[in-house]
Amino acid sequence: DWRASYTRAERYEPNTRESLYREFNGQFFWDDFIQSGSVFHQDMVDDGMSGGANLKVPFTLRGLPATLQVGASADRKDRDAYSRRFRFRPQGSDINSEVRALEPDELFQPQYISPTGFEIQEATFRTDNYTASEDIDAAYVMMDAEILPRLRLVGGARVERSRQLVDPTDLFPQAGQTPLTGADLERTQVLPAINLTLNLGEAMNIRASASQTLARPQLRELAPFSFADYAGGFLVVGNPELDVSRIQNYDLRWEWFFQPGALIAISGFYKDFTNPIEVQVLPSTELIKTWVNAPSAQNYGTEIELRAPLSIFADGLTPFTANANITLVQSDVDAGGLIRYYLPGTGASEITVLERNRALQGQSPYVVNAGLSYFNEGSNTTATVLFNRFGRRIDAVNREATPDIYEEGRSQLDVVFEQRLRDNLSFKLSAGRLLGNQVLFTQGGDPVRSYDTGRTFSVSIKVGS
């Protein structure tokens, strides 16, 4: 088989405005801080091409069926990002406390633009405009064979060569300025994988697997471009100093299909990360976050999975199926040493981070998923209730003297109902985030920001098969 595709994505953001207000004695006043008072324009285009081919050859090994599969692929992505920024900056006495108490649509009006009021200034960063590309070439070989009675082997290796380029362009260059820092990240990786399945009977297996995978930084993480994180007031900056993360994966799983459509499984896993990418708060007088490589990290834990039709309890429950899984994770980061980052106007820099015990940024100690589905074949009615909860996790890593920022754990409940009216006509109703829990971030136990995700409702009609 083979595949080929072309994609184009365009982002046009013509007039994004940012204003920051601070509370004083119960009243909010506009503040000239970070990018407050800014007007941002961006026009970005991504072009992508992808192609690949696979060949599968059946054969026999010691009289048992087997297959050999080989393949190759090539992926190309090009990005062109154009941005401009302007800022309303206070220049004199006209922007007093009475004026600062106005809302943005009243504050930034012509009557307040003057030599002693607001001045509109060019605020485009030197790194706001850039071109970027990502090229990935890969080839693989894989064998699937029953090497012994009841013992199946799936193994092989994938070779990947990747190159990620980011080239920033200064719209207003000046003599004597430090050259801009771009990114040129080129890596060739051999990624082996092996999976052994031991059949203990018609309905029970033990699986063991080992593999090496990788995680590349996204182009927006590599580009020294800055953008606002509106949920927290941070300025987020890309880091051209990022490297590829490498991950060693080891898994052991026991599974029992105790009746059709039913499963009990218990798994154990271990992951060893080299250069994991994390979100880091930078040492700065302003609120700035970026992505950095920690030296290494380890995640290990267990997962329990259950799926069963409720007809095993009573015939009247035949339309219902329940499923649940829980994952428990212990995460440890080796975070001591030098961390390389990029700061607008400064360039590449380093900070020394002392060793301390903490989890990998973004990793929850537990995740719970549960669901209940209903299907009535006679009426063509389907309904699903889904529940998810995750534990408290680090949102952004701070230096050792300052507490990390945590995202507190929360639960989510979603419901989907679908009714097929005819062979080619169906009606669907979805309700998401019904618990409406607040997204809460804390630092040192104190709330630092929060927002409500709200509830979502949608109705759709599908025509066709």
| Per-residue pLDDT in tens (0 to 9) along the chain, 465 residues | 999 999 999 999 999 999 989 999 999 999 998 788 999 999 999 999 999 999 999 999 888 889 999 999 999 999 999 999 999 999 988 899 999 999 999 999 999 999 999 999 999 999 999 999 999 999 999 999 999 889 999 999 999 999 999 999 999 998 888 888 899 999 999 999 999 999 998 899 999 999 999 999 999 999 998 887 766 678 899 999 999 999 999 999 999 999 988 999 999 999 999 999 999 988 777 788 999 999 999 999 999 999 999 998 888 899 999 999 999 999 999 876 677 777 766 666 777 666 678 999 999 999 999 999 999 988 999 999 999 999 999 999 987 678 999 999 999 999 999 999 888 899 999 999 999 878 999 999 999 889 888 999 999 999 976
Long-range contacts of 21-30 (CB under 8 A, 24+ apart): 27/101, 28/101, 29/97, 29/100, 29/101, 30/100, 30/101, 30/102, 30/104, 30/107
d(CA 409, CA 390): 5
Domain borders along the chain are 125-463
- How far is CA 278 from each of CA 112, 186, 225, 242, 341, rounded to the nearest angstrom? 43, 20, 17, 10, 11
pLDDT of residue 190: 98
Cα–Cα distance list, 308 to 221, 265, 319, 415, 440 (Å) = 42, 12, 11, 19, 35
pLDDT of the residue at 298:
97
Structure-token pair, residue 60: 């026999």
CA neighbours within 13 Å on the CB side: how many for 112? 19
Largest CA distance in the chain: 91
Say how far apart CA 271 and CA 360 lie, in whole Å. 12
Residue ranges of E strands in 91-203: 118-122, 129-148, 151-169, 183-201
Residues 6+ apart with CB under 8 A from 430: 414, 415, 416, 417, 456, 457, 458, 459, 460
As given in the structure block, the two tokens for residue 290 are 């970026």
Note the pLDDT of residue 345.
61
CATH number of this structure's domain 125-463? 2.40.170.20
- In the prediction, which pLDDT does 231 show? 63
